[in-house]
Amino acid sequence: MVLAMGFRSAARGRVSGAWPALKWQLAQPLGLATQPFAQPGITAPGALEFGGGQRGLGSSSGACPRTARGAPGSARTLCQSLNHTPQPANAPRRTRPGGAALPAARAALVRPNAAAQSTDPLASPTPATVDDEIGRALAAAAEQRARLAAALADESRWRLVIDCGFCHTLTAHKELRSLAKQIQTSVGHNRRAEAPFCLQVSSWFGDIAHYAEGTMGGAAWPLLKRQQPTLDLFPRELITVLSPDAAEPLTDLDPARVYVVGGIVDKSVIRGVTAGFAARHEVQVRRLPTVELAEQLGLGPGAPKRPVLNIDDVVYALLRFRVNGGDWLDALDAAIPARKRGLGSRSTSNGSGKDSRKDGSNDSGSGSGGDSRSGSEEDA
């Protein structure tokens, strides 16, 4: 009677955690097998239901019921008799044989070691490497800003002036726009240079100042803006005017002198404007040495030996001359656009009529029409 009642209660699911102990107590007096439900595929009657599935004493998983895990008394004894060692609640899950090596193998595939990353050129940069590169870029930018600020603060050395006092020669608004664009490009060259000049503009008032500051953000350009004319700012004995019509070439740069580039943009190339200005005021005048280097620069048949350059081309040539060890050939080859040369242009040209420069800028002529010229710049 007792045995029948016990099995009937277990079958109806009324006995949960008490079933293992009851089964053990009833099985021994009757001489039943100690593991009646241990065979695979046989599920114990009244198996406990939890976790979305059934687990009994004789389930194929061979796991002990959850109520027997760490439980005292007969349930724990039953688990031990079935060759199951009860595990603490916080015990790690068991792994299959050989499974311990699997995490290490996966780690080696997913996360290569540092040595492999440093030697593999195709490996993706690690976050630490990216952070280092960003840090170096920020440090380089800060250093460049410091160099520019120091150059603009020292008004006694390496002065380069764009004289806007020739704006009366501009005959169209397009030429005014071209002049402002060339000044803006010159500012960009100077800002990125390894050895920047103390770049200035003189006679900065009227139409050119209003246009540049009102439409091109000229108020924020990093250069010194002077309303006074050049001759009122510097002693005449220190001024060197750069003109394409000068007889003598510029052979070297003197940090104590003031180099003046005339702010002239004209489509018809009016000769003698800056050279005449220098003669009237008895100041030194020089040109870039393109005549002497015409053959090396590829100024072949049909190309003038004194090519008319934009203001920003002249500024770029002077900046490059300062850092290349005084090599005019290298400086002029980098500054003179391919469109200003003959068929024998050197490797500076990229075949598109523009010059690719190391500072990321491209010469495409003037900011307005592409053929505007600066008569103040030395064409050699």
Residue 43 and residue 58 in contact, taking contact as beta carbons nearer than 8 Å: yes
pTM over 0.85: no
Catalogue all structural domains in the chain, each as residue range(s) with its CATH number. Answer: 2-81 (no CATH), 141-340 (3.40.1280.30)
More confident residue, 239 or 129: 239
In 3D, which of 230, 161, 146, 257 has the Cα closest to residue 191? 146
pLDDT at 306: 83
Task: Round to whole Å and give the CA distance between 323 and 70.
Answer: 80
Q: What's the sign of the alpha-carbon dihedral 265, 267, 270, 271?
A: positive
Residues 7-15 have a mean pLDDT of: 51
Say which residues have a Cβ less than 8 Å from residue 304's Cβ, sequence separation at least 6.
379
Q: Which helix (H) or strand (E) holds 225?
A: strand 224-225
What mean pLDDT is predicted for residues 152-176? 89
Residue 358 CA to residue 222 CA, distance in Å, equals 20
- Which stretch of 65-74, 235-244, 249-258, 326-335 has the lowest confidence by average pLDDT? 65-74
CA distance 53 to 225: 83
Strand, coil or helix: what is 223?
A: coil
Q: Is pLDDT larger for residue 96 or for residue 208?
A: 208
- Output 365 or 174, whichever has higher pLDDT: 174
Task: Give percent of the chain above pLDDT 70.
Answer: 54
Q: Is 308 a residue whose pLDDT tops 70?
A: yes
172 three-state secondary structure:
coil
Query: Which of 330, 312, 313 is CA-nearest to residue 321?
Result: 330
Maximum average pLDDT range among 170-174, 281-285, 336-340: 281-285
Q: Is 148 helix (H, G, I), strand (E, B) or coil?
A: helix
Mean pLDDT of 97-105: 49
Residues 199-226: what's their mean pLDDT?
Answer: 95
Closest listed residue to residue 179, CA positions, set 246, 288, 267: 267
Extract the tokens encoding 206. 């009227």
Q: What is the pLDDT of residues 39-84, one digit of tens each?
A: 444 444 444 444 444 444 444 444 444 444 444 445 554 445 545 4
Count each helix (H run) and each strand (E run) in the chain, helices first.
12, 8
Name the residue type at position 354: K
Give the integer Cα–Cα distance in Å for 62 and 42. Answer: 11
**In the Cβ-directed half-sphere of 215, how many Cα atoms lie within 13 Å?**
11
Contact at 8 Å (CB) between 268 and 375? no
CA angle 4, 8, 11 (to 5 degrees): 140
Q: Which amino acid is at 189?
A: H
The mean pLDDT of 113-131, rounded to a whole number, is 59
Report, as an integer, the average pLDDT of 120-143.
Answer: 78
The predicted structure's pLDDT at residue 52: 42
The residues, any chain, with a CB within 8 Å of residue 247's CB and separated by 6 or more, are: 287
In angstroms, rounded to a whole number, what is the distance separating the alpha carbons of residues 264 and 261? 9
How far apart, in whole angstroms, are the C-alpha atoms of residue 357 and residue 272? 30
Q: What is the pLDDT of residue 342?
A: 64
Amino acid identity, position 308: V
